[in-house]
């Protein structure tokens, strides 16, 4: 039995969720890593310290700079089809590449796994997390995406553990061309790995009003999130969306402001350690899962909270 973890990165910066995926991988067996990038050096300098892994396979190729699904999936299918498990993080890269690889290898993907019961049995949420399905796999190769908030990070060592090896070659099939990205620039922590998340909903009323929340977030060193309603209304960028079809977060503290608490939003944040709801409607469903609720006007409560924190 061999397990391969595909290392996720953006612009050659390691995505933290990879460490959670490696941790999940170590519950299976014999973990190797694969880095596909135009420049693997910085990523490998971090990966080499992860405990309980064997090989770090790399392929440096300009083709992999933007992790296009077509080239990445072809490369993995050609070089790693003797593996028993291939794990991805359930990030936008993982969600894009993993099912394509599964299609190439004629195997049924097991997405968004939150628990590994045994080597062929996995738990995953369905219906926006309103039910948990336990699936037993009859696949020859399990291609799995891992929900990072459900697993700890892999332990690191001061020593060098993994052995870096170059592998394979690929010629691009040129089906798809990367043009450019419009990335949201932010000094704040990354949403999916932040300790504290401050999230706003339709109750904010406008893009300008979000500044009220941003001040609070900056005081707390928090990441910013939002409900689908706030993103759809154009108040904030799409990559702030928390929920069934957005990002899944589980910070120590989640502060939901002006968010009513639709099940689709709760699906993305209900595993947070402590949840705070601030909403002027005291009947709002968000209060039914909040540890601490405050039924008050957010435009009064949030600035007051911000000014009283030191």
Partner 1 sequence: MKILVPVKRVVDYNVKVRVKKDETDVELDNVKMSMNPFDEIAVEEALRLKEKGVASEIIAISLGLSEVQETIRNALAMGADSGIFVNCTSKLEPLSVAKILTSICNKIKPDLVIMGKQAIDDDMNATGQMLSAMLNWGQATFASKLEIQDKKIKVSREIDGGIENIEVNLPAIVTTDLRLNEPRYASLPNIMKAKRKPIDEIKVEDLNIDIEPRLEILKVEEPKSREAGIMVKSVDEMIEKLKNEAKVI
Q: Residues 117-156: x/- map of binding to partner 1 (CB under 8 A)?
A: ----x---xxxxxxxxxxxxxxx-----------------
List binders of partner 1 among 4-63 (CB under 8 A).
10
112 binds partner 1 (CB under 8 A): yes
Alpha-carbon dihedral sign for residues 264, 267, 272, 275: positive
- For residues 213 and 202, give the distance between their C-alpha atoms in angstroms, rounded to a whole number: 13
The answer to whether residue 293 forms part of the interface with partner 1 (CB under 8 A) is yes
Cβ neighbours for 211, distance < 8 A, ≥ 6 positions apart: none
Least distance to partner 1, CB of residue 125, Å:
7
d(CA 290, CA 282): 12
281 binds partner 1 (CB under 8 A): no
- For the chain, state the CA radius of gyration: 21
- Please, what is the minimum distance in Å from the beta carbon of residue 177 to partner 1? 5
- The residues facing 274 across adjacent strands are 253
Give yes or no for residue 158 binding partner 1 (CB under 8 A). no
Nearer Cβ to partner 1 (16/51): 16
89 vs 67, 115, 164, 254, 275, CA distance in Å?
A: 14, 14, 21, 22, 25
Q: Please, which of residues 172-211 interact with partner 1 by CB under 8 A?
A: 173-184, 192, 196
Return the structure tokens found at 233: 């209304």
Pick out residues in 243-262 that bind partner 1 (CB under 8 A): 244-245, 247, 252-253
Residue closer to partner 1, measured from CB, 166 or 190? 190
- Residue 34 or 97: which CB sits closer to partner 1? 97
Alpha-carbon distance 53 to 216, whole Å?
A: 41
289 binds partner 1 (CB under 8 A): yes
Cβ 36 to partner 1, closest distance in Å? Answer: 16
């Amino acid at each position: 039995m061999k397990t391969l973890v595909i290392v996720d990165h953006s612009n050659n910066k390691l995505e933290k969720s990879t460490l959670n995926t490696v941790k999940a991988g170590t519950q299976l067996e014999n973990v190797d890593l694969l880095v596909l990038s135009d420049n693997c050096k910085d990523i490998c300098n971090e990966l080499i310290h992860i405990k309980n892994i064997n090989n770090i396979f790399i392929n440096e190729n300009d083709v992999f700079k933007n992790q296009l699904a077509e080239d990445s999936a072809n490369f993995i299918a050609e070089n790693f089809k003797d593996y028993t498990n291939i794990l991805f993080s359930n990030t936008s890269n993982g969600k894009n590449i993993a099912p394509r690889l599964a299609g190439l290898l004629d195997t049924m993907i097991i997405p968004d796994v939150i628990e590994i019961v045994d080597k062929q049995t996995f738990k995953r949420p369905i219906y926006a997390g309103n039910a948990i399905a336990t699936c037993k796999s009859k696949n020859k190769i399990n291609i799995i995406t891992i929900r990072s908030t459900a697993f700890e990070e892999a332990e690191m060592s001061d020593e060098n553990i993994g052995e870096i090896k170059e592998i394979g070659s690929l010629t691009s099939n040129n089906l798809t061309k990367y043009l450019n990205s419009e990335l949201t620039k932010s000094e704040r922590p990354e949403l999916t790995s932040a300790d504290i998340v401050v999230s706003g909903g339709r109750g904010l009323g406008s893009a300008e009003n979000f500044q009220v929340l941003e001040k609070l977030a900056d005081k707390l060193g928090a990441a910013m999130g939002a409900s689908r309603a706030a993103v759809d209304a154009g108040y904030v960028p799409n990559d702030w969306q928390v929920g069934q079809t957005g990002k899944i977060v589980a910070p120590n503290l989640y502060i939901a402001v002006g968010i009513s608490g639709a099940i689709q939003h709760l699906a993305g944040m209900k595993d947070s350690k402590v949840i705070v709801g601030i909403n002027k409607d005291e009947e709002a469903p968000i209060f039914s899962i909040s540890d601490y609720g405050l039924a008050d006007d957010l435009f009064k409560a949030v600035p007051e909270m911000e000014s009283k924190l030191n």
